């Protein structure tokens, strides 16, 4: 059984305690291990790789060693082995959301398919495309005009789940991956109405989604008060730390330099200034997701939203017999304030959700990884959903920042004139989307005219977030609305009208 996860580091440059050089190896290993259940469970020592040795020249500098940065480096290394690529990471590979998440590797895309189609209709996607401008917009263009591009994007997301699976198999990375699909449970009449409507809408956009009656759900997993569920096959449960740390090893094997304990202070065309020296590069890739607002000039680009998780001890066989869940489907229900769960490879329930506060000025700090009220709500929700597991000890509690753009629309791109590239804004659906981003960035950087570089999220520019204090008021109002809509629905059994306002706030 694991130790409780205590206070750990979170934000690059905001670590408590002595500086990296002064710290003894076991203390440092312990600090990184305390970041999440997944990092805690690794057999390898969590000691940083060498930092940048000083001023350097490369072809491509990638800032951030999470999934985005590492997938990009992986495909660059695979497509053009001679290319000089350096990945710069403030902490260790997988320190950010990539080493902390719920382990859903899914074909879900944060923006709705209708909004993807509308964006495609406005600008036709591709490397030069700018959303929100009228250039190239056919008169009266709407969702139907962009339907082929949205369907292509949807297929590309399914392909990303396939590709992560292929990577693990071919590169020998054991991420404890099981492709059991994903279940959304309807546990009240209001949730039932909503999930059925969502299913109809998704089917219209080519998503493979099926309705399960309560008995069919119980054949898979036995949760409380289930009235039905949707099931989508295109999702795998995995251990994200095993994936991201394995990916970093494979990337190094392809000749890419991964420098840890190296914090970028400023990104500019042709250069990255770090606390270890200057890196000159033709292309600079920003892969910093929830930490992006900390970079100069990026304060309003994305907001860090904290998602928090808890995990039980490994459950005994008699509890698993009651719960079923042998297919390891990832699982959520139809409530507004998102929860997500998986049966882990080592027989625990890992259970996460939103609801932690947003901090003024897009703050990112180690103390924000833990919020007692949110942990208590998650533990109550876990016990309510899975009564046989209600008595299990909670051994791990953790959290981390994910990145949310103003229009909830992820994007990837390369500005050819400056050599500045980016990918991110995945909201809570980054595990597979980062893989698509990495392949797309590699094609853009190498000038390959593939199908990927014409997908409608390529070159998309989200509008900036509002200045404070408006941002703080709006984001925290959204949290309040979600929680109060759920409370109203469980009182009345009917869909809460205030949810319409919520879906306007979240771009849905």
Ligand X SMILES: Cc1cc2nc3c(=O)[nH]c(=O)nc-3n(C[C@H](O)[C@H](O)[C@H](O)COP(=O)(O)OP(=O)(O)OC[C@H]3O[C@@H](n4cnc5c(N)ncnc54)[C@H](O)[C@@H]3O)c2cc1C
Rule CB under 6 A: which residues touch ligand X?
Answer: 12, 63-69, 88-91, 95-98, 100-104, 106, 263-264, 287-291, 295, 307, 309, 340, 352, 399-400, 402, 424, 426, 428-431, 434
CA 181/CA 164 separation, integer angstroms = 14
CA 192/CA 211 separation, integer angstroms = 11
CB of 477 to ligand X, least distance (A): 22
**Burial track 196-213 (b if 16+ CB lie within 10 A, e otherwise):** eebbeebeebbbebeebe
Closest by CA to 444, choosing from 57, 58, 66, 79, is 79
Please say which residue, 199 or 287, places its beta carbon nearer to ligand X: 287
Please say which residue, 236 or 455, places its beta carbon nearer to ligand X: 236
Residues 6 or more apart whose CB falls under 8 angstroms from that of 435 comprise: 67, 71, 160, 163, 164, 167
- Distances in Å between the Cα of 458 and the Cα atoms of 20, 80, 410, 435 are 38, 22, 9, 14
Structure tokens at 418: 């400056």
CB of 320 to ligand X, least distance (A): 21
CB of 449 to ligand X, least distance (A): 25
Query: What is the secondary structure of 303-372 as a DSSP string?
Result: EEEEEEEEEEPPPPHHHHHHHB-TT--EEEES-SS-EEEEE-TTS-EEEEE--PPP-GGG---GGGG--H
- Distances in Å between the Cα of 35 and the Cα atoms of 46, 305, 500 are 11, 17, 36
CB of 237 to ligand X, least distance (A): 9
Please say which residue, 64 or 459, places its beta carbon nearer to ligand X: 64
Please say which residue, 124 or 445, places its beta carbon nearer to ligand X: 445
Please say which residue, 97 or 250, places its beta carbon nearer to ligand X: 97
CB of 73 to ligand X, least distance (A): 11
Residue of minimal Cβ distance to ligand X? 430
CB of 53 to ligand X, least distance (A): 16
Residues 6 or more apart whose CB falls under 8 angstroms from that of 350 comprise: 37, 102, 103, 309, 310, 311, 341, 342, 344
Please say which residue, 94 or 146, places its beta carbon nearer to ligand X: 94
Please say which residue, 457 or 489, places its beta carbon nearer to ligand X: 457
CB of 288 to ligand X, least distance (A): 4
CB of 184 to ligand X, least distance (A): 14
Classify residue 298 by burial, with Cβ atoms within 10 Å: 0-12, 13-18, 19+: middle
Please say which residue, 288 or 312, places its beta carbon nearer to ligand X: 288
């Amino acid at each position: 059984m694991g130790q409780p996860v205590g206070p750990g580091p979170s934000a690059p440059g905001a670590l408590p305690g002595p500086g990296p050089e002064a710290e003894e190896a076991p203390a440092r290993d312990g600090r990184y291990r305390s970041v999440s259940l997944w990092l805690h469970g690794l057999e390898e020592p969590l000691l940083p790789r060498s930092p940048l040795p000083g001023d350097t020249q490369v072809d491509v500098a990638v800032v951030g060693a999470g999934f985005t940065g590492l997938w990009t480096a992986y495909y660059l290394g695979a497509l053009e082995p001679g290319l000089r690529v350096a990945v710069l990471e403030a902490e260790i590979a997988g320190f950010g959301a990539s080493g902390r998440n719920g382990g859903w590797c899914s074909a879900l895309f944060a923006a709705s398919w209708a909004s993807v189609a509308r964006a495609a209709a406005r600008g036709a996607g591709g490397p030069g495309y700018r959303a929100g401008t009228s250039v190239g917009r056919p008169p009266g263009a709407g969702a139907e005009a962009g339907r082929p591009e949205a369907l292509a994007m949807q297929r590309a997301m399914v392909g990303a789940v396939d590709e992560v699976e292929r990577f693990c198999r071919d590169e020998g990375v054991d991420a404890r991956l099981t492709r059991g699909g994903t279940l959304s449970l309807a546990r009240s009449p209001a949730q039932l109405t909503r999930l059925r409507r969502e299913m109809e809408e998704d089917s219209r956009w080519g998503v493979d989604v099926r309705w399960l009656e309560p008995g069919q759900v119980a054949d898979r997993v036995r949760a409380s008060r289930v009235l039905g569920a949707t099931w989508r096959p295109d999702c795998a449960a995995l251990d994200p730390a095993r994936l991201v740390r394995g990916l970093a090893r494979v990337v190094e094997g392809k000749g890419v330099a991964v420098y840890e304990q190296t914090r970028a202070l400023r990104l500019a065309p042709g250069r990255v200034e770090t606390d270890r020296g200057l890196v000159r590069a033709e292309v600079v890739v920003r892969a910093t997701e929830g930490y992006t607002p900390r970079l100069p000039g990026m304060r309003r680009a994305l907001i860090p939203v904290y998602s928090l998780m808890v995990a039980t001890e490994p459950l005994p066989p008699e509890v698993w017999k009651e719960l079923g869940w042998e297919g390891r489907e990832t699982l959520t229900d139809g409530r507004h304030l998102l929860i997500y769960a998986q049966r882990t490879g080592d027989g625990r329930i890992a259970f996460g959700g939103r609801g932690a506060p947003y901090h003024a000025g897009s703050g990112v700090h180690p103390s924000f990884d833990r919020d007692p009220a949110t942990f208590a709500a998650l533990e109550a929700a876990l016990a309510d959903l899975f009564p046989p597991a209600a008595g299990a000890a909670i051994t791990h509690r953790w959290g981390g920042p994910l990145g949310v753009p103003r229009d909830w629309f992820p994007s990837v791109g390369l500005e050819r004139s400056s050599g500045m590239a980016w990918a991110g804004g995945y909201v809570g659906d980054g595990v597979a989307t980062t893989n698509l981003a990495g392949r797309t960035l590699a094609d853009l950087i190498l000038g390959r005219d593939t199908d990927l570089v014409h997908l409608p999220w390529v070159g998309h520019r989200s509008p900036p977030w509002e200045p404070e204090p408006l941002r703080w008021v709006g984001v925290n109002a959204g949290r309040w609305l979600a929680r109060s809509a759920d409370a109203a629905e469980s009182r009345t059994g009917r869909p809460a009208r205030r949810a319409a306002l919520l879906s306007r706030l979240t771009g849905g």
